Structure 1
């Protein structure tokens, strides 16, 4: 909140103050996120984790849609400083939850006898299998997400349409899809849910590839695939984060959860970084086809790795 208040006094036309304040906000937000994820992992019971992650997914989606729209309205009416101060005020709201937070879960102290570390995570049984799932499951997403917007623009889809499409998909998935995944994970298990989501995602990527290759035509075909794909991203996060909480140890829940979520994010960002180069060199059709193949392989590998189940969180260090 304090950093955002400082940002409100920066000149938005000057890049370096924005860059420095942006780095500070990112560092503080990531630290807060690690603490929140660790706290949720420790406090939520196995039965409550799907619902808890659905609430998180819904909050993220609604925050993205509502806050983005609201910030633009405030900026248009009142200017830069007012917009940033409103964002700072909203960022202070989570502090209200601090007064009711409990640091002990089930009689277990919040402090641990050992320092959290990567070594401690990989000493757990099945740690390599879980880490592999975190790395591969969304490996192809970045390739499509980074080029999805440019492809729609090249098809002469109006920019407002793209914005409304992504916004409505995010809101729909955040409110409905997240809780649907939570219910499904409770009823049929995370393995089946991740397999189903990965299968539908692979079909969406294949539709993108087919459309780029001229096999499918019509703008509504690709818009439909784009909307479903956006919904899937939010739904996948709920299922993955439920798995990550399940396998995180009691001794270092924040560290374990962060290792897994960062592995997923790193692969996603890596794909996004090279997507433009690949699209320029090989074209949209081959890029999307490669993403579909990666998605199919990742879904199959995840299904196989989860065949024995995970009980990492039940194993003491």
Structure 2
């Protein structure tokens, strides 16, 4: 029961769109970041002082609070990125974002667990607090130009009070083209997410040991994703979002074909490694291009709200794709799962490209695509 209940601890990441308008509306995003990061560090330090040997209750409470603070911090971070990055910088910026996320996963999921294995949970939480504060240092030294760009000058307090902000996400969802664009990016990501959902069990069922799975899913996949982030950033910067999406989408779809082949028992361990690495490199490249499009689709005044709404839609889609993968895998087997994922990925890629060419989505998005079509 305790293990299954841990999913509740991560709900803030799926529901943060509900309070994103408050982050856009009140205070500077720099102030939000400093307050939230320092608060998260203090919670981690508080956990280091508690006796967690008899009950996990306070550990769960602390993790939930840190997740809520971190999810809210993510709203402010995305808002700063949308407001300050130029159109040409967004591909590079999202490449750094995806790459930094992977580095954080390695440090948080690998290094801290290694530290816990011989130093205990008190040292683990102290180290976590120090890492949070270290990551906050650049925000403290944010230059004046960036800080000035972060301050809204057109807020209307009389029309955007706390009560209206509680449902402001709904008005952002009703923007012309927003629902269509959300469905497009969800469709683009769904097939690949479904295919990757059961990779761990697939590797285990193919005879890989826990050590081998940790190497493939942990070390190699993280390095591959870093390479994919760099590739996606370069493709977006050099050739534009459409071409990056086309190349990344087709390539990530073809990478699923390697899993289809492996599901027939062909290729052994080398093919399994090749499939995993290829999927993370090419999927990472496509993700960078999608995130750049999401920034283009966000209005600067509502940057955090718009971007968060789209990001949460992807989180929900990943959950749905994981459930779908489990059902298909259990009923029809891995070959049907990876084959279905391949088809859905191909269809999602094709539909998104065609829709972009036809000007679907929010106004800011097709303005960027139109300019890129003339310059690349």
**Both proteins in one fold, TM over 0.5:** yes
Structure 1 residues 100 and 308, CA gap change in structure 2 (3 angstroms)? farther
Aligned to 2:148, the other structure's residue is in SS state coil
Q: In structure 1, what is the equivalent of residue 230 of structure 2?
A: 179
**For the Cα contact (< 8 Å) 1:112–1:251, is it kept in 2?**
no
* 3-state DSSP of counterpart to 1:19: helix
One of 264, 286, 299 as aligned partner of 2:336: 286
Residue in structure 2 matching 1:221, options 246, 257, 271: 271
TM-score normalised by the chain length of structure 2? 0.76
* CA RMSD between the two structures: 2.4
CA contact (8 A) 1:201 1:232 kept: yes
Call closer, same or farther: CA 1:179–1:210 in 2, change over 3 Å: closer
> Superposition pairs for residues 1-317 of structure 1, below 5 Å?
1-8=41-48, 9-11=50-52, 14-101=55-142, 102-105=146-149, 109=153, 111=155, 115=160, 117-166=168-217, 167-174=219-226, 176-214=227-265, 216-309=266-359, 312-313=363-364
Report the Cα distance in structure 2 between the residues aligned to 1:251 and 1:3, rounded to whole angstroms. 31
- Kindly report structure 1 stretches of 4+ aligned residues shifted beyond 6 Å: none
| Mapped contact 1:124–1:312 kept (Cα < 8 A) | no
Checking the alignment, whether the CA contact within 8 Å between 2:228 and 2:285 is kept in structure 1 is yes
Deviation at 1:155, TM superposition (A): 0.8
Contact map agreement 1:5 1:84 (CA 8 A) in 2? yes
- Structure 1 residue 251: Cα displacement: 1.6
Give the distance between the partners of 1:105 and 1:112, measured in 2 at CA: 18
- Deviation at residue 55 of structure 1 after TM alignment: 1.4
Do the aligned partners of residues 233 and 14 (structure 1) sit closer, same or farther apart at CA in structure 2, a change above 3 Å counting?
Answer: farther
* Cα contact 2:181–2:362 (8 A) shared by 1: no
Distance in structure 1 (CA, Å) of the matches to 2:277 and 2:232: 17
Per-residue deviation at 1:10?
4.7
Between the aligned partners of 2:154 and 2:112, the Cα distance in structure 1 is 37
Tell me how far apart the structure 1 counterparts of residues 241 and 196 of structure 2 sit (CA, whole Å): 24
Moved more, 69-78 or 219-228: 69-78
Compared CA separation, residues 96 and 247, structure 1 to 2 (3 A): same
Residues 217 and 55 of structure 1: is their aligned pair in 2 closer, same or farther, counting only changes over 3 Å?
Answer: closer
Shift of 1:85: 1.1
Mean Cα displacement is larger for which, 78-87 or 274-283?
A: 274-283
Determine helix, strand or coil for the equivalent of 1:138.
Answer: helix
Equivalent pair of 2:192/2:342 in contact (CA under 8 Å): no
Q: Specify which structure has the bigger relative contact order, considering alpha-carbon pairs within 8 angstroms and separated by 6 or more residues.
A: 1
Distance of aligned partners of 1:273 and 1:112 in 2 relative to their CA distance in 1, 3 Å threshold: farther
Q: Distance in 2 between matches of 1:45 and 1:136?
A: 27
Give the number of aligned pairs: 313
